[in-house]
Amino acid sequence: MFGLFKKRTKKEKLLEEYAKLLREAHAFSTSNRKLSDQKTFEAEEVMKQIDQLV
């Protein structure tokens, strides 16, 4: 309740994006390996952005 209007930091947004991309990569891993690899690569790029923030 108290965090209802709290703004998310850039790091929190990037972590959510990273988790979303990994979920998508896992979902595609059984049906489309090329798309799964692409999502994994995108997730790694997001992780690099997170590391630069720290």
The verdict on residue 45 lying in a domain is yes
The verdict on residue 4 lying in a domain is no
What's the whole-number average pLDDT of the chain?
93
* Cα–Cα dist 40/50, whole Å: 15
CB contact at 8 A, 16 and 34: no
The verdict on residue 16 lying in a domain is yes
pLDDT for 2 beyond 90: no
The verdict on residue 23 lying in a domain is yes
Q: What phi and psi, each to the nearest 5 degrees, are found at residue 3?
A: -90, 15
CB contact at 8 A, 24 and 38: no
Among 1-5, 42-46, 50-54, the range with the most confident prediction by mean pLDDT is: 42-46
Q: Which domain holds residue 23?
A: 10-53
| Contacts of range 44-48, beta carbons closer than 8 Å, 24 or more positions apart | 46/14, 46/17, 46/18, 46/21, 47/18
The verdict on residue 20 lying in a domain is yes
The verdict on residue 35 lying in a domain is yes
pLDDT of residue 1: 58
Task: Fill in the amino acid letter for 5.
Answer: F
The verdict on residue 21 lying in a domain is yes
Domains: count for the chain: 1
Residue-wise pLDDT tens digits, 6-41 = 888 999 999 999 999 999 999 999 999 999 999 999
pLDDT of residue 34: 97
